[in-house]
Chain A
């Protein structure tokens, strides 16, 4: 990597010379790892579920957990998260329950989204975790507007928006960065540069030397961070958040990471990339790194591995079991929430559907 990339933890889990651990809350340090591990185990389990034909689709974030968990944990619970479709870990940290998540994957009657979206497209008003859509990059201008709105209302909250390297090729990224610069919006633009947009590598997305550098053209700071180093992501995001809260405008964070798995369960990356590349990134795996650090600090152990793995396994199993028993949403739900009230023509169309059920 030729670009400047900030790092605290070396791949083997030791702190870089001259760097310090950015927080002295050992419980929170352990939580970072626990959330990353839970994120991964959920992804693995749900991918299997798709293979078994029990859900139609799944998008995981294996390899990218540090960029997600480290950033969202640097924010306050009142801040706003505007996700793309690969930040389940952020929802988890915010308190989105595994049961609701499973209900969303099944699209059943207990899904907060009422079974209207495919798996991995969820949201929660009370958690300030904005509803996810599939089109790439649309969330970025919306996040700028959200941050503008917080500023107009004189509120202390800020917003973070997540997107991948592919999204930086969209007009929406540039429109949004331009707006964010002009209005000095209290926003963090967090690019998970996972090197691949389905089958298209980062080199095909941009001729820029980095993604972070693009912020310069819009009049604000862009920083590169090792996206597999949860502590570096945490510290970088925390600084960007303080800056935003002080009215000093947005920051673009490019978290350099790697999509270890497929884009989604509909994808097979063996068709377009080498195992060798994947293996080299696995050596820099974010979980392994943080686990080694915690063990060095006497904050983690093999016994804790076993204990936590068991706990997570049971929690997933329990959530899945309960969610799978829930039936589909009632047929009316097709016609509700299109508008605040159901207009006459939709009432008639509901009757048409009912007549043949």
Chain B
């Protein structure tokens, strides 16, 4: 199963289980989504539960909030994360604050699915990684799977969560990432990271599509540089799993953080600050960040822009030799 199929499977399972769940977005109906994540769902569940909207992201999320107020459980799709900004007000000022501002009188359990990230030759409007904006917003959970197993288990957990969730799908590996996924209904707990690779020299932290680059780098670092990396796959970015990170740092004493998004105020900065607060005396070297540069996402030179195994290995070596 690939990630698209896993997302589709999770959506189908939840639509069958929960009659209040609805899917809305651009092209999600008959066409099944531009990436085909909702393929066959309108046919199975009808136009009242899986429906196309006019082309307006603010309307999709605004309406999703209202659908939730009416007692439904909406799972809107934003076609590309790059197009989420017209809905930013509804996400940040409305969905995220609904429970808080009303003292719990109203809630907003919506899961916004959106493909993010580079590597598909999409230039700056089909490649962005906007996670930091949402991690920074109190009231939102932010979830980012890296493979089909996580996509299914985390999506089911997100939809069942009582809070608004931004579910970032790694579109670069939508089809390239394949793996065994249980047929049955299962969830992966939000807020818990996994150890994707055991190791002892450096803690390598990543999430989403970068996991594949990071695991590749870790393997090469072991084989060619003799560096043993413990790879932490965050899975949930807010709230993130501080315990697992700190445990690993206490073991290795060295940290490299990898993400595609630009560096300044990127999520790596928060991870780095947290590690400083919780495990400073265990550190043998500064915390290194391998990220996209502080530029818009380029079209032609995207491979140079994106963190590569080469860049990650350099950071690992720098950390080891500090």
Query: Which A residues have a C-beta under 8 Å from some C-beta of B?
Result: 80, 82, 111-114, 116-117, 121, 123-125, 130-131, 133, 135, 138, 140-150, 152-153, 155, 171-172, 175-176, 178-179, 182, 336-340, 343-345
Contact = CB atoms under 8 A, between A and B. Distances in A.
A171 B100 contact: no
B120 to A, nearest CB: 28
Contacts of B66: 82, 141-149
Nearest to A334: B100
25 contacts: A113-B101, A116-B101, A125-B102, A131-B102, A133-B101, A145-B64, A145-B68, A145-B70, A147-B70, A148-B63, A149-B66, A171-B58, A172-B58, A172-B62, A175-B56, A178-B56, A336-B104, A337-B99, A337-B100, A338-B99, A339-B162, A339-B163, A340-B162, A344-B239, A345-B239
Interface of B: 22, 48-49, 53-54, 56, 58-59, 61-72, 74, 86, 89-90, 93-94, 97-107, 138-139, 141, 161-163, 191, 239, 242
B67 A148 contact: yes
Contacts of A147: 66, 70
Instruction: Report, nearest first, the 6 A-B pairs whose CB atoms are least far apart.
Output: A145-B66, A141-B62, A149-B70, A145-B63, A131-B102, A146-B66
A209 to B, nearest CB: 26
B69 A130 contact: yes
Contacts of B98: 131
Contacts of A344: 239, 242
Contact of A135 (B67, B68, B89, B107): B89
B138 A145 contact: no
Contact of A141 (B48, B58, B101, B106): B58
Given A135-B93, A142-B69, A152-B48, A340 B59 contact: no
Contacts of A155: 70
B103 A114 contact: yes
Contacts of B70: 80, 145-150, 152-153, 155
Contacts of B242: 344-345
Given A152-B48, A153-B72, A133 B67 contact: no
B139 A145 contact: no
B62 A145 contact: yes
Contact of A138 (B71, B93, B239): B93
Contacts of B103: 111-114, 116, 337
B59 A176 contact: yes
A336 B106 CA distance: 14
A149 B59 contact: no
A150 B72 CA distance: 9
B99 A340 contact: yes
A112 B103 CA distance: 6
A343 B142 CA distance: 14
Contacts of A142: 62-63, 65-66, 69, 90, 94
